[in-house]
Structure 1
Amino acid sequence: MSDDIRILVLGIGNILWADEGFGVRMVERLAADWRFPDTVTLMDGGTQGLYLLPHLETADALIVVDAIDYGLAPGTRRIFRGDDVPAFLGAKKMSLHQTGFQEVLASAMLLGRCPQRLILVGVQPECLEDYGGGLTDTVAAQVAPTIDVILGLLHDEFGVEGTARAGTADTAAPAIARDAYEAGRPSAEAACRIGDPRILAALSADQA
């Protein structure tokens, strides 16, 4: 494998909807614990949709990590490659962010700028209907094993070695880092039933 191949490891999803945030949380943890050569980019793609297109256009290989509804047991992990990646995202989409990312891939293909190698690593969610909630224990338990899968893919398919950091690095804004976000959630008794009051307060401030 060429030493200058550009690899984008992209976590997508919405951290506000429980297990929907799996891809983002996995990349967050990967970036905190490991460092890679400059040819590897780790990115929190969130729900940005077409805003991700320029990043895909400059990559030779793309590894997408996401919560995917296979209709299987929660925590089940599957890997898809090539044409199966956009096709599967389209057939099994759970939310608008997956529809948006399918459009990103379609646009990149139409422009002839899609990464030559496509890999999707998806984990079956357990809960999505929990606004302001964090990962369920079942899906959170798949973060570390999925990191091992990504490390294996980088090594086996691209010849790229990661180096473990001596200590963890802060890679997310403090307010939305997983530990702070999940630990700061109000109890079920105190929580607003239409969402997380922290999010609603932020939205109100932005609109003021």
Structure 2
Amino acid sequence: MGEPNFRKRRVLVLGVGNILWADEGFGVRAVEAFHRAYAVPNNVTVLDGGTQGLYLVHHVTEADDLIIFDAIDFGLAPGTLKIVANDEVPKFTGAKKISLHQTGFQDVLSAADLLDRYPAKLVLIGCQPADLDSWGGPVTEPVKAVIPEAIMAAAGILERWGVDVSPRSGSAPTLLGNGIDFEHYEWRADPAALTA
């Protein structure tokens, strides 16, 4: 009889949101910063989910464990982080809407549940936005300031899950191309940067 084949758990670190609406881009900017800061083993996927909605179902159903970065309106002070886990993360569109695009992601989670392929562990790292109305605007200072704390929280969660996370040495491959990465897009989107 051969040795048992132990598969490593598949983990997805996902950022969702829309970088065109100021702080609604928190999730994308956080996952981008996480990718730049940390190296993870090959059983971990780091993904910019943007506003893909139901197109993310196959990524979610392939994951054993899932961390999501998202801008969430918890009614707290701008830039406040709140971590919600497992059953506390709303699954169905009938739940109270707490994010501009959450209906789409709730549908993703609902589909994963209906397919009986819901992640065993689910953590949402949410940030209270200050501005969701500025079309083309950058993330605001209170939200930008907590991105390091958000990605450190994600790294800590992964470590508790037994995932080997280490600070990245050298530069990371670009997670977002076409000039929409934080360094290029946020500079252009910030009106103050244009007059500096």
TM-score of the two chains, using structure 2 as the length reference: 0.88
Q: 2:99 aligns with which of 91, 94, 103?
A: 94
| TM superposition shift of 1:160 | 1.2
What residue number does 1:196 align with? none
What residue number does 2:58 align with? 54
Q: Give the secondary-structure state (helix, strand or coil) at the position aligned to 1:173.
A: coil
Q: 1:116 aligns with which of 116, 120, 125?
A: 120
Identity %: 48
* Structure 2 Cα separation of the partners of residues 10 and 72 of structure 1: 23
Question: Kindly tell me: are residues 52 and 62 of structure 1, through their superposed partners in 2, closer, same or farther at Cα, counting changes over 3 Å?
Answer: same
Question: Kindly tell me: are residues 186 and 63 of structure 1, through their superposed partners in 2, closer, same or farther at Cα, counting changes over 3 Å?
Answer: closer
> Once the two structures are superposed, what CA deviation does each residue of 1:29-56 show, in whole Å capped at 9, x if it has no partner?
1112211011111110111011000111
Letter in 2 for 1:168: S
Q: Identify which range, 160-169 or 6-15, moves more after superposition.
A: 160-169
* Structure 2 Cα separation of the partners of residues 67 and 88 of structure 1: 18
Kindly indicate whether residue 135 of structure 2 is the aligned counterpart of residue 131 of structure 1: yes
Q: Give the secondary-structure state (helix, strand or coil) at the position aligned to 2:191.
A: coil
Q: Identify which range, 137-146 or 27-36, moves more after superposition.
A: 27-36
> Once the two structures are superposed, what CA deviation does each residue of 1:91-116 show, in whole Å capped at 9, x if it has no partner?
13332x21100001011101101111
Q: 1:84 aligns with which of 81, 88, 98?
A: 88
Q: 2:78 aligns with which of 43, 66, 74?
A: 74
Letter in 2 for 1:164: P
* Structure 1 Cα separation of the partners of residues 80 and 86 of structure 2: 20
What residue number does 2:180 align with? 176
* Structure 1 Cα separation of the partners of residues 190 and 9 of structure 2: 45
TM-score of the two chains, using structure 1 as the length reference: 0.84
Q: 2:109 aligns with which of 97, 105, 128?
A: 105
CA contact (8 A) 1:68 1:92 kept: no
**Unmatched 5+ stretches in structure 1:** 191-208
Q: 1:18 aligns with which of 22, 42, 48?
A: 22
* Structure 2 Cα separation of the partners of residues 126 and 12 of structure 1: 17
What residue number does 2:156 align with? 152
| TM superposition shift of 1:84 | 1.2
RMSD: 1.9
